[in-house]
Structure 1
Amino acid sequence: MFLDTPLKGISLYSIEAPEHGGETRFLNAARAFRDMPESLKKRIEGLSARHVYDYNANRGDARPDPSKLSDKVDTSVYPVVWVHPESGTPLLYISKLFTTEVIGLSREESDKLLDDLFAYLDSIPDEYAHKWRPGDLIIWDNLHLQHARADFPETERRALRRVPIALKVA
């Protein structure tokens, strides 16, 4: 989300997996938009959002604080409802970890709208949750599916290798 050209896909390969927790959870962004209440769809119509990755500010499961961003952040702006470049499917294109603001709204309005959108996303059950075993490989459409890691005990190890798949831009 924070790159100039979003990743088309991602693959993860498991080297070590915890006994408890550590699953990768997936949420279908197309279904999230399709099933969204009409009142929320109207609020986001035509809006764009800034997405940021900053090693200093992206921590935990909260939005990065714009006041704590370094001057070397990766940042991009995309429509909140982005159309998949291959399927033509509208997607809800926001992330609790990367989306910092809705462009053109005051900080208060932006925070309120993002809080409402993230509450909606949190109310949706996972499309799929993968319990890792060493040797597992998963490849997914990174535009249609949002992903997140479930917590696991700090006494256990989780080691995955990630390979990004670039989006071909015409």
Structure 2
Amino acid sequence: MTETTIADQNTVRALRLPGYPIPVGPFTHLAAERERLAGLRWQHFDARPIGATVGAEISGIDLTTDLPPATIAEIRQALHDYKVLFFRNQPLSAYQHVAFARRFGELEIHPALGSNTGQPELVRFEKTAQVAGFENSWHHDVTWREQPSLGAILHAIEVPDIGGDTLFADMYAAYDGLDDETKAQIEHLDAVHDFTRAFGAFATEEQQAQMRAAHPSVTHPVVATHAATGRKHLYVNRIFTDRIAGLDADEGRDLIDRLCRAADAPEIQVRLKWEPDTVAFWDNRAVQHYAASDYWPQRRIVERASIVGPKPSR
């Protein structure tokens, strides 16, 4: 492959090799955001950016305490900037986990995933030799809801020595990296999100019908505008997005696949290696995440609190 100049960046950004699913090139459109994030400074904690445009490790803060409103406001702003925050050495009790999450809004109760902690707002993911992990697909959480979560806070209780990482992809950057023709094509499209695509995978037709009655399909924009930042981001995912409204099934599925592949580039991702008492707080609109299922039969126990968000809009 020949070298290219910065003047060629738009061509390079759109360059695809035959059979290769993601763009090839220097991803020069990430530079401005990378430099902006590198220059941010905070009053109540320190932040170290990890990915080019996504992810920061936060230090100098204790999440087990009753943090003052100014600190909570700064965490919220950091979340909007870095898209996902990582906190190490945070031995949260279930009560403290819920109390911290509530500082950012109303919490969800998940209808299908259970809690074993006595705190119904916490979803507990307990993977063992008998219960293997299967969350290894890129997704936003609960997009089958009319009001999907605006963010989630995950606390690691027990983690494998090797494996079990979580990856996050910047969906602003995924959208920004699309060519102008694709942006115009998807600007006014809506996608249908269905609870049963994941939770009904092994259900009978009768059970799926009951699920759909309890959780009807919902429609969200393919390109949403973040309620806090005003930035556009892709809002389709492989787990819950069922089809594109107004397109035939094959055309819609091809488009969903193409848009999801926009998040596959490592240049717009960050990877978290868990340790016990690590906390990850991600913006469920600005990022998708992927839980690597490479640790069986080791144990992995994490708990998640999710914050109710607004209905996605253009």
Scaled by the length of structure 2, the TM-score of the pair is 0.48
Tell me the residue number matched to 1:147: 289
Which gives a bigger RCO, structure 1 or 2 (Cα 8 Å, sep 6+)? 1
Mean alpha-carbon deviation: is it higher for 41-50 or for 111-120?
A: 111-120
Q: Which of the numbers 181, 203, 208 marks the counterpart of 1:70?
A: 208
CA deviations 1:40-82 (Å, max 9, x no partner) are: 2122120010112221228xxxxxxxx9981214332100000
Tell me the residue number matched to 1:166: 308
Tell me the residue number matched to 1:57: 201
Aligned Cα root-mean-square deviation (Å): 2.1
Task: Give the C-alpha shift of residue 147 in structure 1.
Answer: 1.0
Alpha-carbon distance between aligned partners in 2 of 1:51 and 1:85, rounded to the nearest angstrom: 20
Alpha-carbon distance between aligned partners in 2 of 1:104 and 1:4, rounded to the nearest angstrom: 20
Q: CA contact under 8 A between 1:45 and 1:81: conserved in structure 2?
A: yes
Query: Percent of counterpart pairs with the same letter?
Result: 29
Alpha-carbon distance between aligned partners in 1 of 2:249 and 2:308, rounded to the nearest angstrom: 32
Q: What SS class does the counterpart of residue 122 from structure 1 fall into? A: coil
Q: What SS class does the counterpart of residue 151 from structure 2 fall into? A: strand
> Can you give the 5+ residue segments of structure 1 that lack an aligned partner in the other structure?
59-66
| One-letter amino acid matched to 2:208 | S
Tell me the residue number matched to 2:164: 22
Tell me the residue number matched to 1:111: 253
Q: CA contact under 8 A between 2:169 and 2:270: conserved in structure 1?
A: yes
Q: What SS class does the counterpart of residue 148 from structure 1 fall into? A: strand
Q: What SS class does the counterpart of residue 41 from structure 1 fall into? A: helix
Alpha-carbon distance between aligned partners in 2 of 1:68 and 1:86, rounded to the nearest angstrom: 40
Task: Give the C-alpha shift of residue 126 in structure 1.
Answer: 4.6
Alpha-carbon distance between aligned partners in 2 of 1:78 and 1:7, rounded to the nearest angstrom: 13
| One-letter amino acid matched to 2:278 | D
Task: Give the C-alpha shift of residue 151 in structure 1.
Answer: 1.8
Alpha-carbon distance between aligned partners in 1 of 2:168 and 2:191, rounded to the nearest angstrom: 21
Task: Give the C-alpha shift of residue 2 in structure 1.
Answer: 1.1
Q: What SS class does the counterpart of residue 32 from structure 1 fall into? A: helix
Scaled by the length of structure 1, the TM-score of the pair is 0.85
Q: Which of the numbers 19, 25, 37 marks the counterpart of 2:179?
A: 37
Which has the larger share of strand?
Answer: 1
Closer, same or farther: CA 167–115 of 1 in aligned 2, 3 Å:
closer
Which has the larger share of helix?
Answer: 2
| One-letter amino acid matched to 1:70 | Q
Matching of residue 89 in structure 1 with residue 238 in structure 2? no
The list of structure 1 runs, each at least 4 consecutive aligned residues, that deviate by more than 4 angstroms after superposition, is: none
Q: What SS class does the counterpart of residue 118 from structure 1 fall into? A: helix
Closer, same or farther: CA 123–168 of 1 in aligned 2, 3 Å:
closer
CA radius of gyration, larger in: 2
Alpha-carbon distance between aligned partners in 1 of 2:176 and 2:243, rounded to the nearest angstrom: 22
Q: What SS class does the counterpart of residue 208 from structure 2 fall into? A: coil
Counting only pairs closer than 5 Å after superposition, residues 121-160 of structure 1 correspond to structure 2 as 121-160=263-302
